[in-house]
Amino acid sequence: MCRVVDLQQAVLAKNDACAHTLREDLAARGTALVNLLSSPGSGKTALLERELTLARDRGIPVAALTADLATENDAVRLARSGVPVKQVLTDGLCHLEAEMLGGHLHGWLPADTRLLFIENVGNLVCPASYDLGETLRVVLASVTEGEDKPLKYPTAFGLAHLVVVTKTDIAEAVSFDEKEFRANVEQINPGVEVVLTSARGGEGDGLLLDRALAARDGTPVHIPVMTRKSHHVHDAEGGQPCDEGHAHTADHSHGEHTHAGEHTHPHRTPGGHARTTDPDTVASSRS
């Protein structure tokens, strides 16, 4: 057990070092990274497509990278916004890591990009422990997921700079208790902002984009209490060095590791490697 814990800490330390490097590189070129986390089916893709379209209409240079275990469906949807989009197929890996992300951005991200949105793998456990070099970490939850979601996934909600509620157009139909949800968020992450959105109904249009632009332009983001208590520390300068521009290849002890004590799971399918869909392929598949 000690070996597993030590290995977990080493993996996270290396990831933090890579995230620190990536954050500095992006900042030097004037790009802010927005990391979006949620459960599957939260409406993350629909909301992001709407925000990307608004950014395009306002002349704001943005780009998006979306990660899934399989299919290119989300990238095809996001490409309808008309902004640069890249799909990463993780082949069983349940989250993105900073070194992997840096490799996929190398040579692809347009030079004038002000905001880079990362649609992480649909999962509120694995991605929560991995800093991607983000300026803004956003956790989304739909009104259909229950008011106790923050209590069930304290790491994800506890490290968020912003919480977004989606699908508010059906809140009444599913008896969503906004007051209770906000109280649960406040219990886990005191002081974090909660915004309400509906990609279909139009509520909160542009709020995510506005918050991301403000963070990019230097407005201080919320500092979660958990950031100071967790073993996962942003901008870590110690730990193993980061191999810039290369996909993640670290050995994770037969493919298993533990996330913040929550569970142990396969890290990557046998022989699996994250794959990238060529942006031209996505563009040609637009519906």
Q: What's the CA dihedral at 21, 22, 28, 34 to 10 degrees?
A: -140
Per-residue confidence band for 231, with pLDDT thresholds at 50, 70 and 90: very low
Q: What is the pLDDT of residue 275?
A: 55
Q: Comparing 164 with 279, which gets the higher pLDDT?
A: 164
Q: Which residues contact 94 (CB under 8 A, 6 or more apart)?
A: 69, 121, 123, 125, 126, 127, 265, 267
Question: How do residues 237-251 score in pLDDT, each as one tens digit?
Answer: 445 667 654 433 333
pLDDT at 284 over 50: no
- Percent pLDDT > 90 in the chain is 72
Q: What is the pLDDT of residue 259?
A: 39
**What's the CA gap between 107 and 168, in Å, rounded?**
38
pLDDT at 270 over 70: no
Other Cβ atoms less than 10 A from the Cβ of 107: the count is 7
pLDDT at 153 over 90: yes
Please state, rounded to an integer, the average pLDDT across all residues of the chain: 84
Per-residue confidence band for 253, with pLDDT thresholds at 50, 70 and 90: very low
**What's the CA gap between 209 and 206, in Å, rounded?**
5
Other Cβ atoms less than 10 A from the Cβ of 138: the count is 24
Question: How do residues 179-207 score in pLDDT, each as one tens digit?
Answer: 999 999 999 999 999 999 999 999 999 99
**What's the CA gap between 134 and 141, in Å, rounded?**
19
Per-residue confidence band for 3, with pLDDT thresholds at 50, 70 and 90: low
Q: Provide DSSP, 36-92.
A: EE--TTSSHHHHHHHHHHHHHHTT--EEEEEEESS-SHHHHHHHTTSS-EEEEE-TT
What residues are paired with 277 via a beta bridge?
87
Question: How do residues 68-114 score in pLDDT, each as one tens digit?
Answer: 989 999 999 999 999 999 999 988 789 999 999 999 999 999 999 99
Other Cβ atoms less than 10 A from the Cβ of 134: the count is 25
Q: What is the CA radius of gyration of the chain?
A: 18
Question: How do residues 130-139 score in pLDDT, each as one tens digit?
Answer: 999 999 999 9
